[in-house]
């Protein structure tokens, strides 16, 4: 019997005043590293915030780690097993990296005797071991981002949600981060929202593409790459195959009448 997916949303709708950010979205994600792609304003951050239990849906059902999160009690239990890095996260500038990550570990209710080792391991995994006792206000933008990743993984979460995690990282750091993602994805469900298609190609096992709050494509990264080969676009060295597939999937979705026909997103690509 297959275990329940870590993420299962059905008919998820999120409205911001008169704007519909997510429109009856259905999505299921199991273990592995999942790329969440889409144009600016497609609804990626709205989805991540709902999955992180920091925003409530307007309608629809959300199940995380095998349980409904409609009640406060259920959400509290899930948060202990969840890691979250928003695009912009707050911190006390006078805290050291060690203090910042330890504070989040305390919020996650890690046993006190496990916190010091958990903090050091998380900080080491993001390459900040030599700055663990530096104050947050002294760090560069890329270092602050890595500290943010450390706090997201300090509790070794079963579900890890990362919103634009490589913003501010240099190329070498992005390579190291992709390796960390692959390592984390062996035992956890990792969702990476990004506009950098190359990060998805290098680290993700599959891709969910959102357009105007609807699911435009979901499948293996190789499937998205194959769509690029079928698109008829010039195969030049400056255009990555996955980028061509991303563009082809978006155009196919826009050209189809998914909203009124009820066709499955992949059906529009055939």
Domain membership of residue 11 (yes or no) is yes
Instruction: Determine the average pLDDT of the residues in 28-50.
Output: 93
SS3 assignment, position 231: coil
Instruction: Clarify whether residues 66 and 173 are in a common domain.
Output: yes
Q: Number of C-alpha atoms within 13 angstroms, CB side, residue 232? A: 1
Number of domains in the chain: 2
> Averaged over 60-67, what is the pLDDT?
92
Q: What is the CATH number of the domain that holds 13?
A: 3.40.50.300
Parallel, antiparallel, or unpaired: how do β-strands 189-193 and 214-220 relate? unpaired
Mean pLDDT over 256-267 rounds to: 53
Q: Do 22 and 151 fall within a single domain?
A: no
Report pLDDT for 173.
Answer: 87
Does residue 112 fall inside a structural domain? Answer: yes
Q: Which two tokens stand for residue 98?
A: 């060690």
pLDDT 10s digits, 41-61: 899 999 999 999 999 999 999
CB neighbours of 206 closer than 8 A, spacing ≥ 6? Answer: 32, 34, 35, 218, 219, 220, 221
Mean local confidence (pLDDT), 171-200 = 89
Q: Give the lowest-confidence range in 138-142, 218-222, 247-251.
A: 247-251
> Are 76 and 110 in the same domain?
no
Which pLDDT score, from 0 to 100, does residue 231 have? 55
- 235 confidence band (pLDDT: 50, 70, 90): low
**Structure-block tokens of residue 50:** 């709902």
pLDDT of residue 70: 83
Residue 96 DSSP one-character state: B
Report strand pairing: 206-211 vs 32-37.
parallel
* Mean of per-residue pLDDT scores for the chain: 88
Q: Do both 10 and 71 map to the same domain?
A: yes
Higher-confidence position of 262 and 111: 111
Answer with the one of 156, 174, 197 that is the final residue of a domain.
Answer: 156
Query: Two tokens at 27?
Result: 């999505």
Evaluate whether residue 266 is within a structural domain.
Answer: no
Is residue 241 a part of any domain in this protein?
no
Looking at the structure, tell me whether residues 136 and 173 fall in a common domain.
Answer: no
Are 132 and 46 in a shared domain? no
In a domain, 49, yes or no: yes
Question: Which range of residues forms the domain containing residue 101?
Answer: 89-156
Letter string b/e over residues 151-175, b meaning 16 or more CB atoms within 10 A of that residue's CB = bbbbbbbbbbbbbbbbeebeeebbe
Q: Is residue 247 part of a domain?
A: no
* pLDDT value at residue 267: 43
- Residue 75 CB neighbours (<10 A): 18
User: CB neighbours (10 Å) of residue 232?
Assistant: 9
Please tell me the predicted confidence (pLDDT) of residue 2. Answer: 56
Residue 77 clears pLDDT 80, i.e. is over it: yes
Final residue in a domain of this structure, among 194, 221, 248: 221
**Strand 19-29 versus strand 7-16 pairing type:** antiparallel
Q: Looking at the structure, do residues 182 and 76 belong to the same domain, yes or no?
A: yes
Tens digits of residue pLDDT in 204-224: 989 999 999 999 999 998 898
In whole angstroms, how large is the CA radius of gyration of the chain? Answer: 19
Shared-domain flag, residues 207 and 217: yes
Q: How confident is the model at residue 26 (pLDDT cuts 50, 70, 90)?
A: very high
100 and 213 share one domain:
no
* Element (DSSP H or E) covering residue 214: strand 214-220
């Amino acid at each position: 019997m297959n275990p329940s997916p870590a993420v299962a949303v059905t008919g998820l709708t999120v409205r911001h005043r008169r704007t519909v950010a997510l429109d009856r979205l259905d999505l299921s994600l199991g273990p592995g590293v999942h790329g969440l792609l889409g144009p600016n304003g497609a609804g990626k951050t709205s989805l991540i915030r709902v999955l992180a239990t920091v925003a409530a849906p307007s309608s629809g059902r959300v199940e995380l780690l095998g349980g409904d999160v409609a009640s406060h009690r259920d959400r509290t239990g899930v948060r202990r097993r969840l890691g979250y890095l928003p695009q912009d996260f707050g911190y006390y500038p006078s805290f050291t990296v060690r203090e910042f990550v330890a504070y989040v570990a305390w919020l996650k209710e890690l046993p006190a005797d496990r916190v010091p080792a958990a903090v050091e391991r998380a900080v080491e995994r993001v390459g900040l071991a030599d700055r663990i006792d530096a104050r947050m206000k002294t760090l560069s933008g890329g270092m602050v981002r890595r500290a943010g990743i450390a706090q997201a993984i300090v509790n070794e979460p079963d579900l890890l949600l990362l919103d634009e995690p490589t913003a501010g990282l240099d190329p070498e750091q992005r390579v190291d981060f992709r390796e960390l993602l692959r390592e984390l994805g062996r035992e956890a469900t990792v969702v990476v929202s990004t506009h950098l298609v190359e990060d998805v190609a290098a680290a993700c096992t599959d891709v969910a593409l959102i357009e105007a709050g609807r699911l435009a494509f979901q499948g293996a990264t190789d499937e998205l790459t194959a769509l690029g080969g079928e698109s008829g676009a010039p195969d030049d060295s400056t255009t990555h195959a996955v980028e061509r597939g991303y563009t082809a999937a978006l155009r196919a979705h826009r050209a189809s009448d998914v909203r009124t026909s009820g066709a499955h997103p992949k059906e529009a690509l055939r």
